């Protein structure tokens, strides 16, 4: 994979195309990309046992130096590169089980032992694997599990909306003059309220996440990822996600996965994913689909009218398609180049080429891809991680939430869902806001975003916000006493910070520095709680598969 290919294409564009022709019609970009096919068209990297062995050996070296994260990454790569039916697959799973055993993750180790046994693990090494299996069971029996009791998933913890059970009651969609659609509170909410728990409609992680996240639900699920049998860049948390992804989108990507990774910036592939996801919802009827996309571009939609909790995929697609996107000049240039490169690459897939075989279809495909690119760069909720990867997710309600540098809520992508939790008290009439990149009160000129930020900190009323911030009075003695009592209390840390936010807010301490610090810490603790719960239910889920015949049906 060569992510530098798209950079080379951009540089060549700058050299060859005069500045004044930037943002010309997409046809110019298409012709430019076609002339420079050689810059981006690398041969497809196929499954390769030799590569699987090298990755596994690199994983073993990292493991022996106790570098578990890099070791896991290499083992996952090894599993993804192993040729179907080869013993390299079993060996990769076996190594992953050894790593989890070392980490005291006995359920994850057991699950990988099971995968190894089912995927040609070599006979001669089997006694070692079986000994590890016995050890895992013994450790679990001795009470060394990190927690595999099924946990209640974090869910709406206030009254739910009767028609939209994934959303709290008392939240409406409204139109804001300078931000477009947004969510507004119809009654008060408090810190700790979980107000949205929505299934992700579509997601894509950047290729840095290929070996750590499920390509379908986005869950960070490194313990049990299974490979796509056809390519070396997509892995899944189980057969269910793998099959669903292939049916809806991946059948278009699989044959050109390497080329796609060469032309994908950050999480931009979500653009093409939305296009092909839409095509699937239109049952592959190209003419109907292209006509629809074209006729209904940028028409306001009504996400609240969907039939929740499981809206019809076609209706959900239409809602996502009907957004009014941003038109940021710099982004538009990058988008046009990416979209033209995507089209060129996708048409190298015989399936796509045979479906879009007329010049008119191809032209309409290009323009629809651009349309979807604009929608995605406006709507997708992006989560960046400290390993340099990105995860972008789309769903009808969560993508309505606007950004603020002084957010009152936070969104968490969690195993195929987007959850929104309230960070500080929200009063009736307040807009519900999250921080897209985690910023806290650091007003900026909007340059980091595709739009000019008009939030309470940066927007036209910013002066008022800053004045209030400057003139914050000291914390009252009563609030001080309450805070110190709270600090002493023996309750979970996350709950403690939730109470502290409430005390400070009641004391009128927003937007004081201390308030900001406490909210930020509360946000981080909540994120950690979401992660831990997710891990615990993964353990429970995998144990169920190991124990029951469910294994044969649902896992790889
Ligand atoms: C995830 S969508 C939110 C829903 C969007 N308002 C709509 O009508 O579809 C993100 C887009 O909303 C707008 N937006 C969100 N927060 C904003 C802010 N603080 N200032 C200006 N525009 C904002 C931008 O156009 C941004 O690309």
Q: Is 175 left (phi over 0), alpha (psi -120 to 50) or beta?
A: beta
Q: Is the distance from the beta carbon of residue 182 to the nearest atom of ligand 1 less than 6 Å?
A: yes
Using the atom order of ligand 1, give the atom closest to the CA of residue 446.
Answer: 20
Q: Is the distance from the beta carbon of residue 446 to the nearest atom of ligand 1 less than 6 Å?
A: no
- Residue 292 pairs with which residues in a beta bridge? none
Q: Which two tokens stand for residue 299?
A: 């028409």
Which of the listed residues 201, 402, 449, 454 should we mutate to test ligand 1's pocket, taking the one with most ligand atoms within 8 A of CB?
A: 402
Q: How many other β-carbons are positioned within 10 Å of the β-carbon of residue 453?
A: 23
- CA 402 / ligand 1 centre spacing (Å): 5
Q: Which two tokens stand for residue 474?
A: 């000291």
Q: Which two tokens stand for residue 254?
A: 């699989």
Tell me, what's the pLDDT at 349?
97
Cis peptide leading into residue 511 (ω within 30°):
yes
pTM higher than the cut 0.95: no
Write the residue with the smallest CA distance to atom 26 of ligand 1: 378
Q: Is the distance from the beta carbon of residue 179 to the nearest atom of ligand 1 less than 6 Å?
A: yes
Tell me, what's the pLDDT at 329?
76
Q: Is the distance from the beta carbon of residue 116 to the nearest atom of ligand 1 less than 6 Å?
A: no
Phi, psi of 420 (to 5 degrees): -120, 125
- Rounded Cα distance between 291 and 360, Å, is 12
Q: What are the sequence ranges of the domains in the chain?
A: 49-142, 171-198+395-441+456-534, 227-381
Tell me, what's the pLDDT at 545?
81
Q: Which two tokens stand for residue 136?
A: 């895992």
Vertex 533: Cα angle to 529 and 536 (nearest 5): 140
Q: Which two tokens stand for residue 399?
A: 């993508």
- CA 424 / ligand 1 centre spacing (Å): 21
Distance linking the first and last C-alpha atoms of the chain: 25
Query: What SS3 class is residue 484?
Result: helix
- Rounded Cα distance between 96 and 82, Å, is 14
Domains 49-142 and 171-198+395-441+456-534 fall in the same CATH topology: no
Q: In the chain, which stretches have pLDDT less than 50?
A: 445-446, 549-556
Q: Is the distance from the beta carbon of residue 165 to the nearest atom of ligand 1 less than 6 Å?
A: no
Write the residue with the smallest CA distance to atom 22 of ligand 1: 179
- Rounded Cα distance between 494 and 527, Å, is 10
Q: Is the distance from the beta carbon of residue 374 to the nearest atom of ligand 1 less than 6 Å?
A: no
User: For strand 431-434 and strand 402-403, is the pairing parallel, antiparallel, or unpaired?
Assistant: parallel
Architecture of domain 49-142 in this structure: Alpha Horseshoe (1.25)
Tell me, what's the pLDDT at 163?
94
pLDDT tens-digit readout, 220-234:
877 789 999 999 999
Q: Is the distance from the beta carbon of residue 454 to the nearest atom of ligand 1 less than 6 Å?
A: yes
Q: Which two tokens stand for residue 112?
A: 């990988």
> Taking the domain 171-198+395-441+456-534, which CATH number applies?
2.170.270.10
Location of structure tokens 């719960």? 533
Tell me, what's the pLDDT at 297?
63
Q: Is 441 left (phi over 0), alpha (psi -120 to 50) or beta?
A: left
pLDDT tens-digit readout, 366-389:
999 999 999 898 888 887 776 677
Nearest Cα neighbor of 450 from 267, 193, 259 is 267
Tell me, what's the pLDDT at 331?
83
């Amino acid at each position: 994979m060569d992510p530098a290919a798209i950079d080379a294409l951009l540089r060549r564009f700058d050299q060859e195309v005069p500045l004044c022709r930037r943002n010309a019609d997409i046809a110019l970009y298409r012709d430019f990309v076609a002339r420079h096919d050689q810059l981006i068209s690398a041969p497809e990297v196929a499954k390769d046992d030799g590569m699987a062995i090298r990755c596994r050996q690199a994983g073993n070296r990292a493991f022996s130096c106790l570098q578990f994260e890099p070791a896991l990454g290499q083992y996952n790569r090894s599993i993804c590169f192993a040729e179907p039916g080869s013993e390299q697959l079993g060996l990769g799973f076996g190594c992953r089980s050894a790593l989890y055993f070392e980490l005291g993750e006995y359920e994850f180790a057991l699950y990988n032992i099971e995968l190894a046994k089912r995927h040609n693990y070599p006979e001669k090494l089997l006694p070692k694997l079986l000994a590890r299996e016995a050890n895992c069971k013994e450790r679990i029996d001795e009470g060394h599990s990190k927690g595999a009791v099924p946990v209640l998933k974090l869910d709406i913890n206030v009254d739910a909306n009767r028609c939209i059970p994934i959303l709290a009651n008392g939240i409406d969609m409204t139109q804001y003059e300078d931000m477009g659609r947004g969510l507004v509170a119809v009654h008060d909410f408090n810190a700790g309220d979980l107000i949205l728990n929505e299934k992700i409609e579509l997601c894509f992680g950047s290729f840095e996440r290929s070996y750590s996240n499920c390509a379908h639900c986005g869950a960070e699920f490194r313990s049990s990822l299974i490979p796509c049998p056809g390519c070396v860049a997509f892995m899944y948390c189980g057969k269910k996600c793998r099959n669903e992804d292939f049916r809806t989108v991946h059948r278009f990507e699989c044959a050109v996965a390497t080329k796609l990774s060469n032309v994908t910036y950050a999480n931009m592939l979500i653009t093409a994913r939305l296009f092909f996801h839409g095509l699937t919802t239109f049952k592959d009827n190209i003419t109907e689909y292209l006509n629809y996309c074209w006729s209904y571009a940028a028409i306001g939609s009504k996400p609240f009218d969907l039939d929740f909790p499981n809206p019809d995929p076609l209706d959900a697609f239409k809602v996502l398609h009907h957004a009014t996107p941003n038109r940021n000049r710099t982004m538009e240039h990058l988008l046009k180049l990416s979209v033209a490169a995507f089209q060129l690459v996708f048409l190298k897939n015989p399936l796509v080429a045979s479906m879009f075989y007329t010049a008119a279809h191809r032209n309409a495909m290009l323009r629809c891809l651009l349309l979807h690119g604009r929608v995605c760069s406006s709507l997708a909720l992006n989560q960046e991680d400290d390993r340099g990867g990105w995860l972008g997710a789309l769903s009808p309600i969560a993508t309505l939430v606007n950004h603020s540098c002084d957010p009152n809520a936070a969104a968490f992508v969690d195993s195929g869902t987007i959850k929104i939790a309230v960070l500080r008290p929200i009063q009736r009439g307040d807009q519900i806001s999250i921080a897209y990149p985690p910023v806290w009160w650091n007003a900026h000129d909007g340059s980091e975003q595709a739009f000019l930020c008009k939030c309470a900190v940066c927007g036209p009323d910013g002066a008022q916000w800053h004045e209030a911030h400057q003139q914050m009075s000291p914390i009252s003695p009563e609030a001080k006493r309450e805070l110190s009592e709270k600090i002493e209390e023996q309750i979970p840390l996350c709950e403690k910070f939730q109470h502290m936010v409430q005390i400070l807010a009641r004391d009128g301490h927003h937007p004081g520095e201390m308030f900001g610090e406490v909210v930020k810490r509360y946000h981080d603790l909540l994120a950690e709680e979401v992660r831990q719960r997710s891990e615990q239910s993964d353990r429970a889920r995998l144990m169920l598969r190991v124990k029951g015949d469910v294994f044969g049906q649902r896992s790889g």
